[in-house]
Amino acid sequence: METEPLGVIARLMHELGKLPGIGPKSAERLTHHLLQAPKQQVFSLAEALRAIKEQIHPCEVCCHPTEHVRCTICADPQRDDSLVCVVEQPRDVIALERSGSYRGLYHVLHGRLSPLDGIGPEQLTIDRLMARVRTGRIQEVIMATNPTTEGDGTSLYLSTLLGPLGVKVTRLARGLPTGSVLEFANSQMLADALEGRRVL
């Protein structure tokens, strides 16, 4: 038996319900808000959603999302390009930048190793990181993966790959509670974690 196609309103609620943190009630509330909003406001939202998929791509250096060939951090000549901080997700870059205590570059893995979920090295940007280190310009790689089992496993795996290349590999200090994520840490906690990083 074929399923009847969703109507326009039901389809919007269904699509909104797929977003993280949006349950059925929130999806319904957002849908009715958009129904009552001025047409131009809704069209602007639709255009912004289209643009984020059509115009945003990974930075050629660090894999952080950007509209340009290089993101603003990699393009900044004031940053220390001998120091690279490895993070799991783009939102971790934002959290660390908010701390105001780091002036190096980043590398975004776009995930973490999780064999049970089918995420291995080939699903991450590890090859791009290794290529950056092999240029010889990088002197220290800071592992800023989240302090979870998968994050620690990812850091350990990367340190074994990077060790033979003669680069210093450090890990954020444990001012971050085990099991937490960077995006929810406050600026001072992240600054302390960077300052107290240790060699892996």
29: domain CATH number is 1.10.8.420
Same domain, 44 and 82: no
Q: Can you tell me the mean pLDDT for 171-191?
A: 64
Flag the least confident range among 67-71, 87-91, 108-112, 182-186.
182-186
What does the pLDDT look like over 45-54, one tens digit per residue? 999 999 999 9
Would you state the pLDDT for residue 3?
A: 53
Reply yes or no on whether the pLDDT at 183 is more than 80: no
Higher pLDDT among residues 104 and 183, named by residue:
104
Domain, as residue range, for 18? 8-54
Please state, for a pLDDT cut of 90, what percent of the chain lies above it.
76
Same domain, 95 and 167: yes
Same domain, 141 and 161: yes
Would you state the pLDDT for residue 181?
A: 61
Confirm whether 91 is domain-assigned. Answer: yes
Reply yes or no on whether the pLDDT at 190 is more than 90: no
Q: Can you tell me the mean pLDDT for 20-34?
A: 95
Confirm whether 59 is domain-assigned. Answer: no
Same domain, 130 and 187: yes
Half-sphere exposure of 174 (CA within 13 A, CB side): 7
The pTM of this model reads 0.79
Reply yes or no on whether the pLDDT at 188 is more than 70: no
What does the pLDDT look like over 136-167, one tens digit per residue? 999 999 999 988 899 999 999 999 999 999 99
Reply yes or no on whether the pLDDT at 5 is more than 70: no
Say if strands 140-143 and 168-171 run parallel, antiparallel, or are unpaired.
Answer: parallel
For residues 162 and 148, what is the distance between their CA atoms, to the nearest angstrom?
21
Give me the phi and psi of 58, to 5 degrees please.
-70, 140
Count of domains in the chain?
A: 2
Same domain, 132 and 163: yes
